[in-house]
Structure 1
């Protein structure tokens, strides 16, 4: 894949006005239309903070794709239309670029840091903090990703998609500036883009095919920190980007069963957060550490890490972040068989979630919606052995999950299959297990395969039950991962 470049003679690509959305507003004022959007949200149980400014930014083309809450509201408000009909870009082309207003440019085309021009640092472009999908990304690049996956699988997508921080045919793309030159906004932008690409690929395909290839960009990120930055704002972006990349790579290790590697990456991210004084990054690192500790059988550490994350997150001002961290704490209490602790933490998580989204919600939390809340609660009840209750929440999680998050649909459905099997409903468990197997051509996750293996063992005594033998035979034919 060839990457587009930005030179000093090029200006950032201007936003393209969304004329289709403007036509739908008709004679209403932006404020009147925003009120209509908020009313439509209430009708379907969503909470969005739509105002005249948000409407104006959509119409100006600054928000190329709405977040999932807004998407549901818009499709409810205009039944029968798609996001494309409303003038939005495909979500795959804009997944999760965080918005910020800085005195630096984030180039609209990813620039190879080897060929970045220092003059590009004078440019200025504003990014929205209200919508995590506000970005400018080359549509041609998305086509390359789709073709790569069709022809070569997840690992090939990773190679084709990580831009100047990626790996191609096993070699590291050198992204560190020339000797004597410090890192600038082009390097910071490329680093942030690598994080987004990894998250997008994991959402769709799981971690197993990505982990080893994603380690190379992480080494490059820390070489950039060693090179220094031209401005303090750039240095802050580099530290945050390197920390977030360490967390993303740690998660890939975590989800593919490499717990020791994951622990090391999370610790690296935590150290980076402490050095740079970034409470949001610190909360994220502790959040993932808590999740890892729970999965690794260290529930008391999970509780303490989740509580540390909540202390760090107080200054962030995001109720949704605090909600997720309460769920992490609940997972630790479940591992300690403390039902009262679980119930208290779950109640806090639900109350905080119901406060709705905020402009302060971190970019990495785009995955956290009602489906994830239900899925994490299901895991708590499953750990406590309350199989019927766990199955109810797992079923809701799978039903609520946006189709974009293929990996999570497989995860929640695998959780449902296991809860049903252990709860004495083998035929329903087998049906759910078969749905997961249907997704494994697209999703590569050791976590999900481990869950399915456990379900298969529980179902073995019920092999004569309706559908169970079909599930067991298909599961037995799966290729075994190393």
Structure 2
């Protein structure tokens, strides 16, 4: 899904005094200039200004996006994000652009305990948040790695619903059935329910980033049903709460749609994306509409409907023009490029790729949506590789796929699923470019990651690579890859 807002702007009641102390005697503008210089030193581009520094110090930005994180840790070596005064990323992985009500109490993490029967709309998240000087304190993926047992990894490999539930615990809202949903009719819905929906979105995204979609999709459908039951049955006390609930339900529909998409359930994904789009239209939410059309374009490309992919990407661009996020427009240009490549229109593809690069170079903004945390240099290179692959330029595609895989491993190692995807695409491009030994070595690296990642997309790429490499089984590396691939458990 990976399968992405870049900056988290949910308000915090407490100013970030630790960050203010680090600024020292420099003005916010001078400190912002130092941040930009540090970014250039490590090859990042951030649009940092005095306003951004002020928002950090005021506590409005609870945890920076990954680009700013790399810059800040470069500026202050030996410190963690917690030392810089930021909150754990697991608390802000949802839609940061939708600030919670200042009066709403913070969501408290729930300690790991055995699952117990819960009321119809209660949410449980079984994740801990380290504190203090632990260098993993602001890395929810490190937290997950600590929590994940061999049983949990096997749960994702087998795809057994019962085993996944046992390994993960309840990840979100649940309803027993239509009768319980009907019983909610007329009940008052408030901040607690809105936060529960938002938290379910965050948890699903974190799990997908680490594991891929296959073991998660069916389990994630339960909180989605509950979110829409709340919309249908309840009355809200404030318009802001209603807006948050609609936005959260729409984002949850997109997240579940992505899980269906990445696990090869294209019809289910199309239905979920359409549901999110309808929700966006009902509440006039341009950001949600752009996100829904963005994913629809990606799905249409994968489903062999490239012209629909172009139209959906263009519709997303129209919705996103007033949102102030060049990075979002860059991603949408890449979605359009993928559609043009699928149509065999090289000129249209190159024009869209040029726009994507130009917009990407304008850097991150406060307005970047939180779901776009995945979109950095690695994803840019990976999506461009897919375009050249669709146009049959295998060597060029392999170059971009290699860049994507190495960049992801260096900059965002927590996105295990994406690293596996880029490396699988590299293996396939190399195989089709006539470099079987290199392709097999890349394929073996993917096989090594499949103990913790399960994605039908990656499995299908590996299967295609194996078919291409079959005539080269006399090459030792190829034979090792083919034997390893043949030993993979098959989906039932």
Displacement, 1:406?
0.8
Matched, 1:360 2:367: yes
Question: Distance in 2 between the 1:319 and 1:339 partners?
Answer: 24
Q: Does the 8 Å CA contact 2:90/2:202 hold for their aligned counterparts?
A: no
Call closer, same or farther: CA 1:54–1:310 in 2, change over 3 Å.
closer
Residue equivalent to 1:410:
420
Q: Relative to structure 2, which stretch is displaced further, 93-102 or 318-327? A: 93-102
Matched, 1:196 2:194: no
Call closer, same or farther: CA 1:141–1:406 in 2, change over 3 Å.
closer
Call closer, same or farther: CA 1:278–1:43 in 2, change over 3 Å.
same
Call closer, same or farther: CA 1:33–1:232 in 2, change over 3 Å.
same
Q: Secondary structure at the match of 2:256?
A: helix
The 5 A counterparts of 1:203-282 are: 203-226=209-232, 227-282=234-289
Deviation digits for residues 134-165 of structure 1 (CA, Å, limit 9, x no counterpart): xxx999999688435554334348843624x1
Residue equivalent to 1:152:
152
Displacement, 1:377?
0.5
TM-score of the aligned structures, taking structure 2 as reference length: 0.82
Call closer, same or farther: CA 1:43–1:187 in 2, change over 3 Å.
same
Q: Does the 8 Å CA contact 1:283/1:309 hold for their aligned counterparts?
A: yes
Task: Note the residue ranges of structure 2 that are not aligned, 5 or more in a row.
Answer: 1-10, 110-117, 123-136, 157-163
Task: Note the residue ranges of structure 1 that are not aligned, 5 or more in a row.
Answer: 1-11, 117-136
Call closer, same or farther: CA 1:76–1:480 in 2, change over 3 Å.
same
Q: Secondary structure at the match of 2:236?
A: coil
Call closer, same or farther: CA 1:411–1:18 in 2, change over 3 Å.
farther
Q: Relative to structure 2, which stretch is displaced further, 313-322 or 387-396? A: 313-322
Q: Relative to structure 2, which stretch is displaced further, 90-99 or 447-456? A: 90-99
The 5 A counterparts of 1:4-23 are: 15=14, 17=16, 19=18, 21=19
Q: Secondary structure at the match of 1:314?
A: helix
Displacement, 1:319?
1.3
Q: Relative to structure 2, which stretch is displaced further, 86-95 or 360-369? A: 86-95
Question: Distance in 2 between the 1:157 and 1:46 partners?
Answer: 41
Displacement, 1:282?
1.2
Q: How many residues align?
A: 446
Displacement, 1:190?
0.9
Residue equivalent to 1:74:
72
Residue equivalent to 1:304:
311
Deviation digits for residues 268-301 of structure 1 (CA, Å, limit 9, x no counterpart): 1111111111111111111111111111111111
- RMSD across aligned positions (CA): 3.2
Call closer, same or farther: CA 1:30–1:309 in 2, change over 3 Å.
closer
- Between 1 and 2, higher relative CO (CA 8 Å, sep ≥ 6) is seen in 2
Residue equivalent to 1:421:
431
